[in-house]
Structure 1
């Protein structure tokens, strides 16, 4: 009796043999993109400190320093994915890494918050070309049956970056100036580029899409206007202000025009027909909501540990380790739960755990044992790991193999947009709640100083420090006002996570349908030299 022939390999044998080494290089490239934001998380308080220690950035400027990166990143991701499909993913990866490294070096020597915001945008430009290409290359060097495992490892790389980022940032801030948290990216870029040129094969889409420059401009402009309005509302503690309403309204109008353009275009930046698939749409929305909640909460958690509890940046990095380590540990293993219980149950349970940990922030005050925060971070990371892995697999396998760049770009676009809106919305909730809680204590100050001092806890503490012994009562009031604002903001984040759980429970399938034969026959296409 003749045994059935083994299925033909779709990946060239030479590439197949070194696929795990290639994955390691891709993860190194991914590492710096994620590492930068996780390092910045512990540095935001230092950057908000007046010169020469920091740049004296206000809370709104800190939000823009983060969002300048994420908005450019999100706005260009899809076009970057298309360029990778057309020109070759390896070429785009190397170019993106070089741009990211240059932006990092410039950001390290910024002389003002405005310069930092601008150079962070350059870093976002480079990162936009790195992130989708890494996952697209992964999908083309692994056979379909190994893709879930490889994606799990790739997702675990995000956890690794989140894990080492805060500790690395804290170490650098204790020994060097604040710009070192950006300069550290440069040697990693050099190593990643060298390994990329040596190991990684080039690939492209045999039928790449056309670039949609008008769509890119509309999407970035709409998001910037929307985020500007939200952040401005938090800065003013008044979301009915004419400037706020006009910016938000203009942003929504531009985004609506973007959607209309994409539906009518024969070469859209985002093919909106993908969203007719309820499973695909649910996975994308869930991913966005997870990062909405996580980024917003991480923003205030740093001020809680450093401003209220008095921990150093390095100690804060160590305290945040459980949040990242659990993602690193559980993300590659989440597929085991998916195999047993299905995507819907695994991801819904993960989001419910995430919502519970966000709500748990309401029990934290200035005297809460620090191990309570560690348990919250541990469970939060575990919950995230069991959401990100199943929804990432669903997203990547929902589209044809040769559209891997598009799927990756869509996934990361919505992840970054969700994170940017999380920082903007939850940051504005935090700012508004804080200002409302502290304004009665700022009555003796001149009007201009009163407004500036009420924008953030760091601004209030700076005023209290200048008052000497008379400022002790103001510092205590600042802690109380911040804790109340943090509790309110955490409950908003928990509500968003619950919304994500409902979306997953209703629309995500228990198990993905069997692969289509047509999808099994698609080949890796080497890029033209």
Structure 2
């Protein structure tokens, strides 16, 4: 007999009684989710500040961003199964505590290495939170129509976090030190923990399999080695032995991970999910949309500040159209799915992302904000269409007892898509930037430290140009900006090609119309501890 079975029906667990209780629980979940998405875009606006304050190179900026995504993606599947087994609210609130503590650590980091470690800690907390929010929503909103609306609100919250993050980050950076962009998470975390205890019902799957720590270790190791090879390639050379060895080892470890999961009696990732075309293609579509969006945001915030000369706040305001349009379109995506079908909406969204990346790749040193805003709007439109439509398709394939692991699988695709976008677009930018900068600088035989700073980032080159001043300083600044824009164009062009390939995949393989939800076909396996008899009859009705 499980503890859930021993618990009396009228135990003092909070109940999401009726529609009001369900939507109140959704508000708590979404406000807590806000800090996860808020942090991504706040950090993007702060990247140039980290170059100036901590001397971070482009490669180090990639690690600051991707350390979070790597921990997030590597632990999310284990966190999802743990939430199903030990209690979704319990894991969710634990994640809030970890996220808040790691945010305080990040705020007072004194070096790039310390900040990377703190960002990884934030990723651990986010991994505990994200799958729990979706599985709680899926458990509380049993009616398919209500669930679609709830998921639309959830997706819109993500868009809202992206929307307000750049402006909030700009405001904080204008008035406080750079660590304030992390400190702002703490009040949200505290409020989320206190509210969840009152408003969010506890639920679990008593039949859930035990966690799979070996699978988690293999996934983190494989993804970490692969990301290291991509991010460090501009430093060591794309064909260097260390990069090829790390990349090959990462792929080999990921193969071992797949074999382990296939043989395990309690896999954290059920590979059988991917036999369902609706699940596998939807997961890939979300990953590719995030690949384009986060890869573009990584370079655009630097372009707007370093190349066009905007302040952090002005940059936040100018990034707002991307996130604002995403937030507006996301709730409309499920409506469009009912009218046009999943295939049409997801394909159109990926085409829009690819078109936005292509338009942005044409920017040069003479471009203005007006020349790039159209591409930014296409990015927001495309992501807003893809994520809710693909997510509803994905979640509809899962039985209720597997929603934690299934939603975690979606979260992994989001984080790894974004991490690969930052890694690949950023590394292509760095490679082109260094290739353009090295030959003109070679005759000057700069000291190693100065050369590393100039070649490491556009911010480092502009800092030296300002110190040198005069004609030499202006020429160095022009050369660096030209090299950066050229590298940005290369990275975004490759991103556009990858995302366009995703659109072709969605058009060819994604079902036009969703089949009946698995949750409607199968008997429920979940047991919600708060379900009183009248709650069950309401759901059944």
TM-score by length of 1: 0.94
| SS of corresponding position for 1:18 | helix
Q: Which residue of 2 aligns with 1:460?
A: 461
d(CA) in 1 for partners of 2:231, 2:457: 13
Answer yes or no: is 1:41 the counterpart of 2:44. Answer: yes
Q: Which residue of 2 aligns with 1:104?
A: 103
| SS of corresponding position for 1:408 | helix
Q: Which residue of 2 aligns with 1:506?
A: 508
| SS of corresponding position for 2:298 | helix
| SS of corresponding position for 1:24 | helix
Q: Which residue of 2 aligns with 1:475?
A: 477
d(CA) in 1 for partners of 2:42, 2:370: 22
User: Contact conserved, 2:400 with 2:519, CA < 8 A, in 1?
Assistant: no
Give, in angstroms, the shift of residue 328 of structure 1: 0.8
Q: Which residue of 2 aligns with 1:367?
A: 366
Q: Which residue of 2 aligns with 1:522?
A: 524
Give, in angstroms, the shift of residue 420 of structure 1: 1.1
User: Contact conserved, 1:94 with 1:193, CA < 8 A, in 2?
Assistant: yes
d(CA) in 1 for partners of 2:517, 2:173: 49
| SS of corresponding position for 1:454 | helix
Deviations 1:262-303 (A, max 9, x none): 111111121111111122111111111111121111111011
d(CA) in 2 for partners of 1:278, 1:391: 12
Quickly say closer, same or farther: Cα 1:90–1:15, change in 2 above 3 A: farther
Q: Which residue of 2 aligns with 1:199?
A: 199
d(CA) in 1 for partners of 2:293, 2:465: 31
Q: Which residue of 2 aligns with 1:3?
A: none
| SS of corresponding position for 2:527 | coil
Q: Which residue of 2 aligns with 1:276?
A: 275
Q: Which residue of 2 aligns with 1:304?
A: 303
User: Contact conserved, 1:234 with 1:427, CA < 8 A, in 2?
Assistant: no
Q: Which residue of 2 aligns with 1:484?
A: 486
Q: Which residue of 2 aligns with 1:113?
A: 112
d(CA) in 2 for partners of 1:516, 1:188: 34
Q: Which residue of 2 aligns with 1:27?
A: 30
d(CA) in 1 for partners of 2:245, 2:523: 51
2:21 aligned to 18, 23, 30, which one?
Answer: 18
Give, in angstroms, the shift of residue 523 of structure 1: 6.4
Quickly say closer, same or farther: Cα 1:113–1:13, change in 2 above 3 A: closer
d(CA) in 2 for partners of 1:76, 1:493: 26
Which runs of no fewer than 5 residues in structure 2 stay unpaired?
1-14, 532-541
User: Contact conserved, 2:162 with 2:323, CA < 8 A, in 1?
Assistant: yes
d(CA) in 2 for partners of 1:297, 1:360: 11
Which runs of no fewer than 5 residues in structure 1 stay unpaired?
1-11
| SS of corresponding position for 1:368 | coil
Answer yes or no: is 1:286 the counterpart of 2:289. Answer: no
User: Contact conserved, 1:401 with 1:519, CA < 8 A, in 2?
Assistant: no
CA-atom RMSD, angstroms?
Answer: 1.6
Give, in angstroms, the shift of residue 490 of structure 1: 1.0
d(CA) in 1 for partners of 2:132, 2:179: 28
Deviations 1:313-364 (A, max 9, x none): 1000000001001111110011121111100011101111111110001332
d(CA) in 1 for partners of 2:523, 2:224: 41
d(CA) in 2 for partners of 1:309, 1:149: 40
| SS of corresponding position for 1:320 | helix
Quickly say closer, same or farther: Cα 1:125–1:527, change in 2 above 3 A: farther
User: Contact conserved, 1:285 with 1:500, CA < 8 A, in 2?
Assistant: yes
d(CA) in 1 for partners of 2:186, 2:39: 11
Give, in angstroms, the shift of residue 144 of structure 1: 2.2
Quickly say closer, same or farther: Cα 1:229–1:349, change in 2 above 3 A: same
| SS of corresponding position for 1:39 | helix
User: Contact conserved, 2:398 with 2:519, CA < 8 A, in 1?
Assistant: no
Deviations 1:41-79 (A, max 9, x none): 100110111xxxx21111111111111110000000011
d(CA) in 2 for partners of 1:80, 1:25: 19
User: Contact conserved, 2:16 with 2:201, CA < 8 A, in 1?
Assistant: no
User: Within 5 Å, which residues of 2 pair with 1:384-423?
Assistant: 384-423=383-422
TM-score by length of 2: 0.92
d(CA) in 2 for partners of 1:477, 1:221: 39
Give, in angstroms, the shift of residue 518 of structure 1: 5.6
User: Contact conserved, 1:235 with 1:428, CA < 8 A, in 2?
Assistant: no
- Which piece of structure 1 moves more, 451-460 or 332-341? 451-460
d(CA) in 1 for partners of 2:496, 2:520: 41
| SS of corresponding position for 1:177 | coil
| SS of corresponding position for 2:172 | helix
d(CA) in 2 for partners of 1:300, 1:328: 21
Q: Which residue of 1 aligns with 2:149?
A: 149
d(CA) in 1 for partners of 2:239, 2:517: 51
